Structure 1
Amino acid sequence: MLINSAADLDLASPDPLELSPALLERLRVTREAVLSTLATGAPVYGVNTGMGALSKVRLTDSEQRTHQHNLLQARAAGGAPWLPPAEARAVVVARLKTFLTGDAGVSPELCLQLVAVLDSGMVPAIPAAGAGSAGEIIPLAHAFGPLVGIGSLLVDGTTVQAEGKLPPFELGPKEGISLLAGIPGATGRAWLQVGNARRLVEKLTLAGAGAVAVVGANRDPYNPLCGRGDEVLAEELGRILAVAGPEVEPRGLQAPVSFRVVGQVNAQVRRAVGRLEEAVERAFSGVTDSPAFLAGEFVGTAGFHGIDLAAHCDQLVAALTHAAEVSTARIHRLLDPAVTGLPAQLAAEPGPQAGLVTVHKRAVATCHYLRRLAVPSAVGVMETSNGQEDVQSFSWEAVGVLGEAIRLAREVVACELLAVHQAFALSKRPVPEGLQELLGEVADVVPPIVADRPFGVDLARLLEHVV
């Protein structure tokens, strides 16, 4: 893939990367301007001064020559568990994307070293937790230490020492601090989770519509006219109605609330996903380096304070938690003959068999875990660096919590799909056309349920192949 600008860098593409000659020349021109400005000897944070509370300490020429390397070495205070390879790669791609804007003023050679990492098939071993600073210096030190032989890489799931695994490289002035600046980790990881959340919300819609169809819920609440003034809601109501199909056996004027509000619940998840995506775009296009090289001079910024990303990650976690709670309530109703007209607990032989009651219990436990994750990440600042860093946004942690929330919400959706699958099997009701593909996928991995069995195996298959 030929890259002419930061906008061309597609985080989703696995293709080898090539920085165009024109782009490399623009980076080189900016780098020369940076070096010229540094040559004046004016204080530049983290280049010819110390960091944090030591920023008033001026470094000698000799100290400056090793300072950029030492920045990475001294700040790699994290440890296992490491980020999954896909998230680690997203961090590296996001860092490269920010460098290609020219704000950091790094050399084209450093950008090419990042390309070498991405094309190598290896990813850095980056700690999943422990970023208790105003930015992301601890995880970023682990992410980019391997560029100069520090730290570890993940190769085919195995952790190996980074030394000697990449072409030799020596960091120049300002390049170490540039690798540690901003919030590329939270940004790249949030971009990845946006894609995961979009796939999940489609399953939320299908599972909810399946529950609506199998209990014969009155379709009035899903009339798109009920979404007046809210385009996202109106579209979601239309999706549910299209998937669930018309009423076949109306069982009353009103289904339980958990069925009636599926449109509102899923619309809120879709809104939260869209807003997070917008925050990711702002993070990529905004100034996050500090000091940034803007209009020919160094400018200290607060681009490391990722409250925009953190807040929108938190909002999506809350929306997913509510969606999982509502889904779990529907599962409980699907076990109730008074709601479905089907055998109790969706057992083929109620009494001798327990049916899917423990599947609901698993969903309940998962929701309980989700509720504990829904505490806003940015609440609870603590001082570090002798008071120089007296607040944090915890955006790194926020996106980590979001990833866990998506994983847990998928579990709940798998539980509901299993219940919907069994309810249709017991009811002998025709499957609406809009659900046939999904329930066909479920049937491909879940054998007919004619007796009790370890349903965890069925849920694992659904998570692997369907949800």
Structure 2
Amino acid sequence: MTKTITHAAELDPAGPEPIEIAPELLDRLAAIRADALRTLASGRPVYGVNTGMGNLSKVRLTEDEQRIHQRNLLLGRAVGGPPWLPAEEVRAVLIGRLRTFLTGDAAVSTDLIHQLVALINSGEPPKIPLEGAGSAGEIIPLAHAFASLDPGPKEGISLLAGIPGATGRAALHATRVHQLADKLTAVAAAAIAVVGANRDPYGEAVGRADEALTAELARLRDLAGPEPDPRSLQAPVSFRVAGHVLAHVRRTLQNLDAAVERAFDGVTDSPAYLDGEFVGTAGFHGIDLTAHCDHLTAALAHAAEVSTARLHRLLDPAVTGLQPQLAREPGPQAGLVAVHKRAVATTHQLRRLTLPTAISTAETSNGQEDVQTFSWEAVGNLAEAIRLTRETTACELLAVRQAFALSDRPIPTALQPLFQAVDAAVPPIHTDRPFGQDLTNLLTTVL
């Protein structure tokens, strides 16, 4: 069913449905375009429209040169190559560009809007390079994204302006982290329940002065169920800090959500058409979005490390009271020790993603662009962090399921739907087997 868009905020980078733009919104954009064309007709210099780009912005273009310049902007900057973005992320890039156009700042024509909507609805996503943006903003991937469009005056530079691709991708990945965060909480609660951890660290009073922590502790209490006789006065730290770690993930995610909205609603086009004038801006720099993507990547990496630590403890009879390494016949069987080793390798990959992205002073365009934030790369790191965090979560979930199978502790009522899904994906573990397939099944159908 086609979704009619009456306001830019209604566009969802994670939504798969076809879209159309409401006539009243198109009328408003057409009026802005007409006014902008009258301003252009005055002949005053407008960056990238009747001048060159970057270090060539001092070169004025003739009328004949202007006619082909906007198309050339796309052609000459499509220097990327494989690997390509997945189709879901391509759609997020296109939706991100459309959303910024609907503010009116770019002053593009309704014809270009229709072209972009048709591209989004076509089901044939363009090939956009996953890597190698390497410039102020993201002109290289955007040149690939819109190579099939036919831009008019000022529209080539509008298609390349700002950070709509990183913003759309960040919105998509934020949606995925919201879903992942719920799974992280559920798996942590299940681990707490199966080892009979002392519930003191999850008490309501512990969350004082921190709304996010208070809410996370409540979720853990509800999911883990009533406190049994604890096995020890204190569980290992990886169990006790679950609330703080996951509250930090959710708090950091909320900050990224806010940064995404600022990037969508703020002025990122350059030159932007504001109050009847073309104005050069710096919204393409994207430091706000980049930093919050980096923060969430680090938060996920920490959550994955804590998950991996809990998994290690689940293999220890001193913590669980169960057979070593969760093997039914320890010795002849190795149990899940190699599953932990996979999680260790995965967290090592995650650590390498946590270097802050916006630390480069690389120059391009003969020094015209003398600093970068690499927001495109920051979002790519976040996507990889999500993938790897799901892997460590699958490893812990498999171990928790086996721990319950070997234990006389019942699965808490609130967690039973999760473990019903696990049991549908993974058969009971009676002996050693290729657990990689089990993890793949969990990633495909449960997480």
Partner of 1:117: 119
Partner of 1:445: 425
Structure 1 stretches of 5 or more lacking a match? 148-169
Partner of residue 403 from structure 2, selected from 407, 423, 438: 423
Partner of 1:462: 442
Partner of residue 394 from structure 2, selected from 414, 433, 436: 414
Equivalent residue of 1:293, what SS? strand
Partner of 1:65: 67
Structure 1 position 440, deviation (Å):
1.3
Equivalent residue of 1:59, what SS? coil
Aligned partners of 2:236 and 2:11: how far apart in 1? 47
Partner of residue 107 from structure 1, selected from 106, 109, 129: 109
Aligned partners of 1:362 and 1:8: how far apart in 2? 41
Structure 1 position 43, deviation (Å):
0.4
Partner of residue 338 from structure 1, selected from 297, 315, 318: 318
Structure 2 stretches of 5 or more lacking a match? none
Structure 1 position 2, deviation (Å):
1.8
CA deviation map 1:84-116 (0-9, x unaligned): 000000110111111111100010000000011
- Do structure 1's residue 197 and structure 2's residue 177 form an aligned pair? yes
Q: Is the 8 A contact 2:133 2:376 kept in 1?
A: yes
Structure 1 position 122, deviation (Å):
1.2
- Do structure 1's residue 260 and structure 2's residue 240 form an aligned pair? yes
- Do structure 1's residue 285 and structure 2's residue 287 form an aligned pair? no
Equivalent residue of 1:2, what SS? strand
Partner of residue 21 from structure 1, selected from 16, 20, 23: 23
Partner of residue 297 from structure 1, selected from 270, 273, 277: 277
1:357-436 residue pairs with structure 2 within 5 A? 357-436=337-416
Aligned partners of 2:419 and 2:15: how far apart in 1? 31
Partner of 1:353: 333
Normalising to structure 1: TM-score of the pair? Answer: 0.94
Structure 1 position 455, deviation (Å):
0.3
Regions of 4+ moved over 4 Å: none
Q: Which amino acid aligns with 1:438?
A: L
Partner of 1:154: none
- Do structure 1's residue 10 and structure 2's residue 12 form an aligned pair? yes
Partner of 1:153: none
Partner of residue 292 from structure 2, selected from 306, 309, 312: 312
Aligned partners of 2:10 and 2:146: how far apart in 1? 22
Structure 1 position 15, deviation (Å):
2.8
Structure 1 position 225, deviation (Å):
1.1
Aligned partners of 2:394 and 2:57: how far apart in 1? 52
Q: Which amino acid aligns with 2:143?
A: A
RMSD after superposition: 0.9
Aligned partners of 1:2 and 1:424: how far apart in 2? 49
Structure 1 position 380, deviation (Å):
2.1
Aligned partners of 2:379 and 2:250: how far apart in 1? 17
Aligned partners of 1:374 and 1:40: how far apart in 2? 49
Partner of residue 157 from structure 2, selected from 153, 177, 186: 177
Partner of 1:270: 250
* Residue-pair matches, total: 445
Q: Is the 8 A contact 2:190 2:415 kept in 1?
A: yes
- Do structure 1's residue 78 and structure 2's residue 72 form an aligned pair? no
Structure 1 position 4, deviation (Å):
2.1
Aligned partners of 1:351 and 1:79: how far apart in 2? 50
CA deviation map 1:114-143 (0-9, x unaligned): 011111111110000101101100000001
Equivalent residue of 1:463, what SS? helix
Normalising to structure 2: TM-score of the pair? Answer: 0.98
Structure 1 position 144, deviation (Å):
0.6
Aligned partners of 1:437 and 1:225: how far apart in 2? 29
CA deviation map 1:355-381 (0-9, x unaligned): 000000000000000000000111122
Aligned partners of 1:228 and 1:217: how far apart in 2? 22
Q: Is the 8 A contact 2:14 2:175 kept in 1?
A: no
Aligned partners of 2:137 and 2:285: how far apart in 1? 6
Equivalent residue of 1:102, what SS? coil
Structure 1 position 224, deviation (Å):
1.6
Structure 1 position 16, deviation (Å):
2.5
Partner of 1:151: none
Structure 1 position 9, deviation (Å):
2.5
Equivalent residue of 1:24, what SS? helix
Aligned partners of 2:413 and 2:71: how far apart in 1? 61
Q: Which amino acid aligns with 2:227?
A: E
Q: Which amino acid aligns with 2:335?
A: G
Equivalent residue of 1:373, what SS? coil
Partner of 2:32: 30
Structure 1 position 280, deviation (Å):
0.3
Aligned partners of 1:83 and 1:18: how far apart in 2? 24
Structure 1 position 344, deviation (Å):
0.2
Partner of residue 137 from structure 1, selected from 131, 136, 139: 139
CA deviation map 1:253-310 (0-9, x unaligned): 1000000000000000000111000000001110000000000000000010011110
Equivalent residue of 1:323, what SS? helix
Equivalent residue of 2:283, what SS? coil
1:183-222 residue pairs with structure 2 within 5 A? 183-222=163-202
Partner of 1:166: none
Structure 1 position 349, deviation (Å):
0.2
Equivalent residue of 1:396, what SS? helix
Aligned partners of 2:419 and 2:340: how far apart in 1? 19
Structure 1 position 8, deviation (Å):
3.0
Aligned partners of 1:116 and 1:378: how far apart in 2? 35
Q: Is the 8 A contact 2:13 2:169 kept in 1?
A: no
Q: Which amino acid aligns with 1:199?
A: Q
Structure 1 position 439, deviation (Å):
1.2
Aligned partners of 1:68 and 1:81: how far apart in 2? 27
Structure 1 position 12, deviation (Å):
3.5
Equivalent residue of 1:123, what SS? coil
Q: Which amino acid aligns with 2:203?
A: N
Structure 1's 8 and 201: CA in aligned 2 closer, same or farther, altered over 3 A? closer
Q: Which amino acid aligns with 1:245?
A: G
Partner of residue 55 from structure 2, selected from 44, 50, 53: 53
